[in-house]
Structures are given as C-alpha cells and as structure tokens.
Structure 1
Amino acid sequence: MNPILEFFSTLLLVIYYWLEAIVLTFIPASLRGKSVAGETVLVTGAGSGIGRLLSKRFAELGARLVLWDINQSGNEETAEQVKAIGATVRTYTVDLSSREAIYKTAQQVKRDVGEVDILVNNAGIVTGKKFLDCPDHMIQKTFEVNTIAHFWTCKAFLPGMIERNHGHVVNIASSAGLIGVNGLADYCASKFGAVGFDESLRMELSMQGKNGVHTTVVCPYFISTGMFEGAKTREIKVPFFKFPAILPILKPEEVSHRIVDAVLCNQHIIMIPRIIYIFVLLKGFLPGKCGEILSKYFGASNFMDTFKGRNPN
C-alpha cells in the first residue's frame, strides 16, 4: 500500500473507533450486550466473593455454570444458590496453584459438559506483607494462583474457542495491576502479569483473525469481600470542605454487575471506579515523585497499614 494512503487510512480508522467507543459508552449493556443464554461459563474461585456473585449473575442470564474452587464447601454453597436461580451447575474442587490439577480437571469438564464458552479467571490470593517479610513460598503461591493459573486454564479451553471462533476469556486483575501499591509487591507484580497476559493474548487472537473470541481484563480497586479486610482509604479534607474517599472500598454487588456488563459488551478492559482511568493517565504524564505525593495524599500508600485479611474460618 502507498505509504501516504496507509497513513491516512490508519488515522481515519483510529478516529472512527475512538468516536465509536465514545458513543457506545452511553448505550447501556441491556441494549447492546450479547446473549449468554445457553452458554457454558466456567468461574474459578467461585466459592465466595466476586466469584460467587459472578456465577449468580451469569445464572440469571440463562448460562449454565461450571464452578471451580479449592474450598469445596464454599463451592457447593455457591452451587446451591445458582440452582435456586434455575441454572444447571457442576462443581469441581481444584487447586489453582497446580498445573496438573488444572489440566486434569479441565479434561473432566470436557467429558462432563463439553466445551467452555466463557472462561472467568477469577481466583486470587493476597499475602498482605511487605516484600522482605513475605515468605518465599507465599510469593510463589501468589504468582501461581493470580497469574500462572491463567496460562493453564487458557491452554486447556482456548483451543476449543479458537476452533469454533466463539468464546470469551475474562481475567480478573486489579487496579494494583496498573499502579504499584506500598505493601503489595508480590500481589501487584502478579496482577501486572495478568494484565499483560490479557493484552498480549487479545492481540494474538486478533492477528489470527479470530474476531469471535474476546478477552476482558478487569481492574477494580479493592473490594469489600473480606480479602482485604482491615485495609482502609481516607477522606480528603480541605479548608471548609470534607470530601468522601476518592477511592472508596467497592461494594461487591456493584462490581460483579459491571464486570458482567463489560463481558456482554466485549469490552477489552474495565477499571472500577472510573477515576482509575484518570490515575493511569496521570501515571504516564506526571513525574514519578508527583505520583508518590498524590498516592500518599489519596491514601493509597498507606492502604495496607491496617490490613488483616480474610478470616481463615
């Protein structure tokens, strides 16, 4: 192609898709979202928190569920709630830190229910310790569950999606996968890995012409599921005014609905709350020292000072 023609055609496409994205922002998922009725949705970490809420939301939309979790009792509890909605569900007890367990269970799923249409890589753990205080085995476990497990689940189920040119991979990452947080070195690194994996995978699928297979990476601020129990944000105070927390701990019900809406609309990346988009922009625009000052001012640098974590019981 002529270099000048290629330049202007590329420019026009960029402008077109930019304007399209702006317009679609104002159209609700209920009007433009795809149907998942009859689709098989596999959710990892389904035994509690966001995994449970996502399972129930997909069940309400007519999907059949495959639930994975290392916590058998929690997983079965989720299954009962899904069945009460009227959906078909199968449960599997899986250690997501084990590649062998993932591959073995994936084969069993294919024998029991067939191919998976939507894979939700939701399972995650957090140590909540400063880098030098974190035991080596916990750092390794964090990466195995939060990042590397995505590789094995995708290797297990993505080939079927590619063959049918139909499917969706959802990777639950974190805003801590976009901006580093004091006291979360291993968690942030694992979530940065999940974000990079999703972006690269999406490009790879695009280059193969598999426009029927989509990916969505989810980057929420911290959610009140118990995983980050004890961690706190701060209220911003200025003379004569008192503002609520700029980064409030998110309500899990709201987050789960926004995640499902993003999947229905084939949204590539979703940051919750929306102010995270601004912070990511500022990160690339401002000097590093400015970022540190703002992080301290908004309370992000001290978020983990009061961290307790999920009750082991």
Structure 2
Amino acid sequence: MVELHANSKMALNGTQQMSRNKSIGQQLLEVAQVLGDIVLLFLQMFYSLGECVYRFIVPIQPKPVKGEIVLITGAGHGMGKELALLYASKGAKVVGWDVNMKNNEETISEINHRGYPTAHAYHCDVSNRENVFEVAKKVQQEVGDVTILINNAGIMPTHPILTQTKDEIERTFNVNVLAHCWTIQAFLPAMLKNNHGHIVALSSCAGLFGLENLVPYCGSKFAVHGMMEALSEELRMDPKCKIETTCVFPYMVDTGLCKRPKVKFEKLMPLLKPRFAAKAIMRAQQMNKKLVSIPGYLMSLNNYVRLMPIRTALYVKDFINSGVESDL
C-alpha cells in the first residue's frame, strides 16, 4: 500500500514537471513568435520607406479618368463646379448633384456646350438619406454605375459656438458628415460588385487643427477625416478589393464659402484659386493618395507641430494667424 502511494506520488510529480516544462516551451515559442512579428514589422516599415523614396524619384503615372462616371456633390458652385469642368475635360462622364438646380444646370450646360462627354444634372438634398437613395437609383438607371464619387458639398457657418443656432449646427453635420455616409452607402455596393471605384472626400485644413469661429465646422471636418480613414481600413481588410479612397484637406479656397478670411501672410499663404485646388484634388485621386493637404506642406507642418508641447504649438498657430473672422 505504501509502495502504491509512493508510485502515485512519483507519477504526479512527473506529470507536474512535464507540465512545467511544456509551459516553459510554450512561453519560449510565444516569445519567438513575438520577436518574429517585430522583425517582420521592421522589414515592412523599411520596405515602405524605401518604396516612398523610390516613388519620390520615380512617381507613379496618374491613372486616366476617361470613361469613368464621376458623381460630384455640390456641383453648381465653387469647387464642385471646377471639379466637374476639370473631370469632363479629361473625358469623364460627369453627374452633378446640387440642391440649387439652377446653378447645377448651368455647370452641366457649360460642360455639354464645350463638347465634352455628355454630363447630367440631378436635384438632390444630400443631407436627406431617402432622397440620396432615390436619386442614386435614377443615376444608375439613366447613366450607369458611378465609379468615382466626390463628396464635395458643404456649408460653413462662421461665428462663435454660443451664437450658432441649433438648426445651423444640425445642418452643418447633416451636410458635411452624414451626407458622406448616405452617398457611400448608395454607391459603394456597385463599386464592390464591379471591384472598381474611388471615393474622394473633401475635408478641410479645419479637419487638421481647430480654429475659432468654426467649432461645429471643425468638428464636422475632423469627422470626415476619421470616417475616411476608417472606410479605407474596412476596404483594406479584403486584399482583393481595388476600391480606393482619398481624403483632401484644402486650405481656404477663394469660392466665397469663407466669408471673412483672415490671412496674416497674404503673399506666402494666399487663398487658393479654385482651379488650382481642383487640379490638386484630381491629381491626388489619380495617384491613389489616401490623405493629402493643399498646399502639401500643411499636413506635414501639422504633424510636426503636434509633436511639440501644446503651448509651443499654440505659439506657432498665433504666428501664422490664419482663419476666419465672425460673419455676424
């Protein structure tokens, strides 16, 4: 009986020892896997940096837009009109959406009179989900599947937050943010089905840093920034997906949207000309750039400044001193 108990104890001790050894082996394997992942990460990072250097020397060729069906929201005025004319001039079939049908039809009429591919005008309130889906169905039936979606429409109340009305704030987010969700939900399914398409969103330099008199507007443009990064990640989860995204952060554009612009260094930082901004946006789309500011140094400057202490960053902002005055 004593011998049996001793044998059982020895067997138990042996099992515990094997368990401890196995546990150590598992731990070593896990450590090796983590080290392997870290090495792979650094190799991927160095490869990516090398690719960036190579592409700086040998840029990729802009992809053509001829034959693409390009839908532009807010096509009746400002940046939307410039984008519509520019894409049409490169052989794209333009579909213009706007709540102001008079201005929208003028843009489309100008395109058609120039002999570009036939353009189409539709009345649509992009802040209304039902209206977006209704008009999107008409576009698909009458024109075809949209292959390039440019969410350009936006509004910009420019006065302190305490003087902004409930309707102004809600309208800002409905037009500047929710409209992007509705158009993406309306047109992305066909892009995924065809595995071909590009979604472009106009954020703003106000989507990179906060500015006075633009609290709701900055909030809406930061939201567009985050939404487009998240959309890009969702699409990236499928390695076979060829749908591209581009989020653009323009400096103030001389279209009348900025009613009272404030610029300290007018010669160094003048308001952007709409045609110049439109060309930069189209080039970013053609080059498949994910994030791009206009001018290009703005994003880099913002990234560097955000590495500094907050007070230091505020000194830089005060030195540049650009933004908008209250329109009240």
Q: Normalised by the size of structure 1, how large is the TM-score?
A: 0.90
Q: Match for residue 119 of structure 1? A: 149
Give the letter for the 2:94 counterpart: L
Whole-angstrom CA distance in 1 between matches of 2:240 and 2:164 = 41
Runs of 4+ residues deviating >6 angstroms = none
**What is the correspondence of 1:125-140 to structure 2 with a 5 Å cutoff?**
125-140=155-170
Instruction: Name the SS of the counterpart of 1:250 in structure 2.
Output: coil
Q: Match for residue 9 of structure 1? A: 40
Task: Give how far 1:101 is off.
Answer: 1.0
Q: Match for residue 59 of structure 1? A: 88
> Does the 8 Å contact 1:69/1:75 carry over to 2?
yes
Give the letter for the 2:310 counterpart: G
**18, 31, 41: which one aligns with 2:70:** 41
Structure 1 pair 72/234, CA: closer, same or farther in 2 (3 Å)? Answer: same
Whole-angstrom CA distance in 1 between matches of 2:57 and 2:271 = 25
Whole-angstrom CA distance in 1 between matches of 2:182 and 2:280 = 26
Whole-angstrom CA distance in 2 between matches of 1:24 and 1:289 = 36
Instruction: Name the SS of the counterpart of 1:88 in structure 2.
Output: coil
Whole-angstrom CA distance in 1 between matches of 2:294 and 2:320 = 16
The number of residue pairs the alignment matches comes to: 296
Q: Match for residue 268 of structure 1? A: 290
Task: Give how far 1:85 is off.
Answer: 4.1
Give the letter for the 1:4 counterpart: L
Q: Match for residue 183 of structure 2? A: 153
Whole-angstrom CA distance in 1 between matches of 2:285 and 2:56 = 14
Whole-angstrom CA distance in 2 between matches of 1:291 and 1:248 = 22
Instruction: Name the SS of the counterpart of 2:239 in structure 1.
Output: coil
Query: 2:328 matched to 1:305?
Result: no
Whole-angstrom CA distance in 1 between matches of 2:240 and 2:166 = 39
Task: Give how far 1:297 is off.
Answer: 1.5
Query: 2:200 matched to 1:178?
Result: no
Whole-angstrom CA distance in 2 between matches of 1:118 and 1:229 = 30
> Does the 8 Å contact 2:292/2:299 carry over to 1?
no
Whole-angstrom CA distance in 2 between matches of 1:261 and 1:32 = 10
Task: Give how far 1:43 is off.
Answer: 0.4
Runs of at least 5 residues in structure 2 that lack an aligned partner in the other structure: 1-31
> Does the 8 Å contact 1:70/1:94 carry over to 2?
yes
Measured against aligned partners, the alpha-carbon deviations of 1:65-118 in whole angstroms (never above 9, x if no partner) come to 111001111101110221114121111011122111111111111111121100
Query: 2:121 matched to 1:101?
Result: no
Q: Normalised by the size of structure 2, how large is the TM-score?
A: 0.86
**213, 223, 230: which one aligns with 1:200:** 230
* Higher Cα radius of gyration: 2
Q: Match for residue 255 of structure 1? A: 277
Measured against aligned partners, the alpha-carbon deviations of 1:177-217 in whole angstroms (never above 9, x if no partner) come to 01011110000000000000000000100012243100000
Task: Give how far 1:307 is off.
Answer: 4.5
Task: Give how far 1:294 is off.
Answer: 1.7
Q: Match for residue 171 of structure 2? A: 141
Structure 1 pair 155/287, CA: closer, same or farther in 2 (3 Å)? Answer: same
Task: Give how far 1:35 is off.
Answer: 1.5
Give the letter for the 1:211 counterpart: C
> Does the 8 Å contact 2:158/2:325 carry over to 1?
no
Query: 2:117 matched to 1:87?
Result: yes
Q: Match for residue 241 of structure 1? A: none
Q: RMSD between aligned alpha carbons?
A: 1.7
> Does the 8 Å contact 2:260/2:327 carry over to 1?
yes
Overall identity of the aligned pairs, in %: 34
